[in-house]
Amino acid sequence: MFARFRRNRMNPVLRDMLQETHLRVDDLMYPLFVRSGEGIKNEVASMPGVYQMSADEIIKECKELLSLGIKSIILFGIPDIKDSVGSEAMCEHSIIANTIRAIKKEYPQMLVATDLCFCEYTDHGHCGVLDPHTHSVDNDTTLHNLGLQAVVHAKSGADLIAPSGMMDGMITAIRAGLDNAGFVNLPIMSYSTKFASAYYGPFRDVAESTPSFGDRRTYQMNPANRLEAINESIADESEGADILMVKPALAYLDIVRDVRNNTSKPLAVYNVSGEYSMLKMAGKAGVIDYDRVMMETLLGFKRAGADIIITYHAKEAVILLNK
């Protein structure tokens, strides 16, 4: 007499037919970290299963990814030399430029997105050029440099440009830079709503990009702000971003839903380093069923409204999806 919802849960086939949200291989983008050298594959203690790799190892990794069905990566560069402006990032032979060319030569079908920022390239570890008086990142000088960096990535064969620095006006500046250089069809995936988060800790070990002083709170968002989070993404949409993003993902699923409900643009989430490592460490400690918690988490991002999930779990998730 009380049968109501449970009737549809009794038969496993019917249960599958009625599933509302699905995680697919095509939803996943895998982050890779490249450094100079040969035969280098250094695991990072705070992110088990994540490596700093030299370009030759990245090529091997791409082969494995494609064989699993993962067709998109996002590249981060770890340069040999850092300086106050991050010059290497704007050079045609930067670690990233060389690696994009190497990947594209071997695997042209791989979608190569590039993180566009300066924190890995500056000796102070901030995401742009510092104002000598305020010691905060100078917005407009950094915009100019972002345009130069974007064109370097574009010329090397990048398929998607992903600016992560949270500078005001960055999409307008990068779009203009790309268009003037003839790359009118190259899309921009903006890290449009990015919070100043402690969840980035392990990433900064891998990318060697911890700020040498201060923090990123003068450019990344206050985790407490919901209206501002929507405004940030809508502003990037109006500047011409082709794909928007909320980052981090797990503690911000309300924001993912808010942005989803306020734009018709495609939406990505970045399932960041700290989120990955928490599950890894808990799995290793035998505290959780890692595989199931991972899949439940990734599905949650889809249910919240994400189209693309950037995740260090991509390979493990795909192996489970293919079973």
Query: DSSP for 48-94?
Result: EEEEEE-HHHHHHHHHHHHHHT--EEEEEEE-S--BSS-GGGGSTTS
Decide which of ligand PBG, Zn ion, none touches 300; Cβ closer than 5 to 8 Å per partner kind.
none
- Would you count residue 127 as binding ligand PBG (CB under 6 A)? yes
Return the structure tokens found at 246. Answer: 């909320």
Determine if 127 is a binding residue for Zn ion (CB under 5 A). Answer: yes
272 interacts with, out of Zn ion, ligand PBG, none, CB within 5 to 8 A per kind: ligand PBG
Q: How many residues bind ligand PBG (CB under 6 A)?
A: 11
- Active-site residue flag, 302: no
Looking at the Cβ atoms of 77 and 165, the one nearer to Zn ion is 165
Which residues are registered as beta bridge partners of 308? 268
Going by C-alpha positions, the residue among 205, 207, 215, 150 that lies closest to residue 177 is 150
What's the CA gap between 273 and 252, in Å, rounded? 15
Question: Among positive and negative, which fits the CA dihedral 157, 147, 211, 129?
Answer: positive
Question: Candidates 82-90, 142-150, 196-204, 289-297 — which segment interacts with ligand PBG by CB under 6 A?
Answer: 196-204
Tokens 């990032």, located at residue: 89
172: how many CB neighbours lie within 10 A of its CB? 17
Active site residue 194: yes
Q: Using the rule CB under 6 A, is 164 a contact of ligand PBG? A: yes
Site track 104-123 with ligand PBG (rule: CB under 6 A), x = hit: -----------x-x-x----
Which residue from 55, 100, 119, 171 is in contact with Zn ion, where contact means CB under 5 A?
119
273 binds ligand PBG (CB under 6 A): yes
> What is the contact surface with ligand PBG in residues (CB under 6 A)?
115, 117, 119, 127, 164-165, 200, 203-204, 272-273
**Catalytic positions:** 194, 247
